[in-house]
Structure 1
């Protein structure tokens, strides 16, 4: 008699609380560092699939590495906030690489928040001056909160300036950040970048947030707000005056709205872009006499690295 086939186990569910408990921010940064060291070149990642739908976009981001495969399915609905719903929603399905058996279903938005903040912190750890203590954060949403947490994990922050469009949201962010971190946190304006060690751009801005000519030579800027050609958080002065670091040259040329005008005009040569992988491996370095800009578009290998580490830690 044939043996009864085994009943497949349901994937483990990991919600936001479970993810954050299993993978503190410092551990997420190290998971990404290990992925850069041990995994395939990020240039080999499949491109993000963007499908326009009536009320927004469907996004698909698949990836495969030695132990796991995975795919994130996310939606972007610009009108949702007016209805009290998140602008971005989604789930991440993690598979065992050897059998392609689903092993975990993760909150895709919590995963995105953690991995985006963690990859910025990894870049800052590789780029920022050792004593970086003054941070300017543009934005008051989940990514702004995540970046404050992540950058505290890699640098000795002492002072945080928050810049946002809505004073009430800025005030709430400042109060919460003071309570959680114990740091000096205050509201400010874009000119605060003139005295910043670190600048985190965490917005959906379509036009630059500050004048790049104000940046001190030692400053490190992370810009993570979008993966769209028409969006910009930093200006040409920032791009052309900085060492520019990206996750992947190909992904940046497709999706990095902050860089595309300079790339397509020829003012910025593609080969001038430093990759995060080369930086982590010591194969490239930043010019210590000018600012450093890390432009992230978010990549599938990052989601997979964080999802796999969280699954193993639960």
Structure 2
């Protein structure tokens, strides 16, 4: 018997939700469309409840935590949430990410997307979206601090919006930075040099990417190394106990663009330390929405450092996962799930 025959307020969803794996996401993802989609989303008016603050639930005895990031992007076909589950098991700490997308036109569950690559894609694409509005046009020299997944993704994303004539990379492990240099040089056709210190990487750079918190949570980037016109992207310090850039970097920046101003100022260890060190923050920080929409009159001073500081946002997850879902569906790579959800009708 159909539940709707008993209760007219309940009916079966018409279409089965889809599943998009990380393998499928990698097969269909495109950098520039993702950057443009994020720029368009952040340029639209955002209501006060469109991107709530992230929440973290933790159980001490269970050694488990769940982070949730929700969003209803304006003008988007999809809304939803990213869930990040973490637990300590017999084999050590384990993380899994999932993005759950609902169809804004029907309210039905549209898809479940493996969020592992989505997280790296959306972080890098959002940084490139901000950089595209902050940094001068023209060929640039890029400094990369870090050689992991986020460093690689950001380098590719930045290359989609700026011509790069040279890249210098530093990370603590010589073999990893050499591998990064070889891989990025081959993929981008750009001169990539692995160097022996972060100062050597940053000196003379037009764009500086900080994508690796140091051991012991000590800053890996200092203001004295920066060129006067440098644009800094900092993504590694997202919680109060995490450090990536020194307070002198924050002090040198004439403009700081934050994906979420409140969360950056109140939850990023870098900004908390800068405020404690006497750096005035409120007058130089604007939101990514203000930058993209042109609502703010604040601009970077000519010939002065500017910075994009990210802690991540559910809007980024939903927009990028939604783009991947549409591409996967068009390519016939989204797998229908053998499930149905009942939809409750109200009113």
- Scaled by the length of structure 1, the TM-score of the pair is 0.90
Of 188-197 and 282-291, the range deviating more from structure 2? 282-291
**Compared with structure 1, are the counterparts of its residues 104 and 194 closer, same or farther at alpha carbon in structure 2 (3 Å cutoff)?**
same
- Asked if 1:247 is matched to 2:254, the reply is no
* 1:272 Cα deviation after fit: 2.4
**Contact residue 213 and residue 219 of structure 2 kept, 8 A:** no
Counterpart contact for 1:69–1:94, Cα < 8 Å: yes
Matches within 5 A, 1:54-93: 54-55=62-63, 57-66=65-74, 67-76=77-86, 88-93=95-100
Between the aligned partners of 1:264 and 1:45, the Cα distance in structure 2 is: 28
| Residue 312 of structure 1, aligned match among 295, 314, 326 | 326
How far apart are the structure 2 equivalents of 1:153 and 1:41?
Answer: 30
Out of 219, 225, 244, the residue aligned to residue 236 of structure 2 is 225
Instruction: Provide the aligned length of Structure 1 versus Structure 2.
Output: 311
Partner of residue 235 from structure 1, selected from 246, 271, 274: 246
> Counterpart of 2:110 in 1: which secondary structure?
strand
Q: Distance in 1 between matches of 2:30 and 2:276?
A: 39
C-alpha distance in 2, partners of 1:257/1:313? 37
In the other structure, the counterpart of 1:197 is 206
Whichever structure has more helix as a proportion of its residues is 1
Query: 1:103–1:266: structure 2 CA closer, same or farther, 3 Å change rule?
Result: same
Give the whole-Å Cα distance in 2 for the aligned partners of 1:216 and 1:133. 13
Residue matched to 1:13: 19
CA distance in 2, matches of 1:76, 1:6: 33
Question: Which of the two has higher C-alpha Rg?
Answer: 2
Residue by residue, what CA displacement relative to the aligned partner does 1:263-291 show, whole Å, maximum 9, x if unpaired?
Answer: 35652232421222222223332112211
CA distance in 2, matches of 1:178, 1:187: 11
151, 156, 162: which one aligns with 1:155: 162
| Cα distance in 2, alignment partners of residues 129 and 92 from structure 1 | 34
SS of 1:207's equivalent in the other structure is: coil
1:121 paired residue number: 128
The answer on 1:145 being equivalent to 2:152 is: yes
| Structure 1 residues 177 and 56: alpha-carbon distance in aligned structure 2, compared to 1, 3 A threshold | farther
Q: What is the CA–CA distance in structure 1 between the aligned matches of 2:180 and 2:314, rounded to whole Å? A: 29
Question: Which residue does 2:337 correspond to in 1?
Answer: none
Q: CA deviation at 1:165?
A: 1.5
Q: CA RMSD in A?
A: 2.5
| Gaps in structure 1 of 5+ consecutive residues | none
Q: Is the 8 A contact 2:260 2:311 kept in 1?
A: no
> CA contact under 8 A between 1:41 and 1:277: conserved in structure 2?
no
Asked if 1:216 is matched to 2:224, the reply is no
2:290 is matched with 278
Please tell me whether residue 22 in structure 1 is matched to residue 57 in structure 2: no
Query: Which residue number in structure 2 is paired with residue 46 of structure 1?
Result: 52
Q: Closer, same or farther in 2 for the Cα pair 1:197/1:184, shift >3 Å?
A: same
The alpha-carbon deviation at position 6 of structure 1 amounts to 4.4
For normalisation by structure 2, the TM-score amounts to 0.82
- Map Cα deviations across residues 179-211 of structure 1 (whole Å, 9 max, x no partner): 212211111121121211111111133211122
Higher relative contact order (CA 8 A, sep 6+): 2
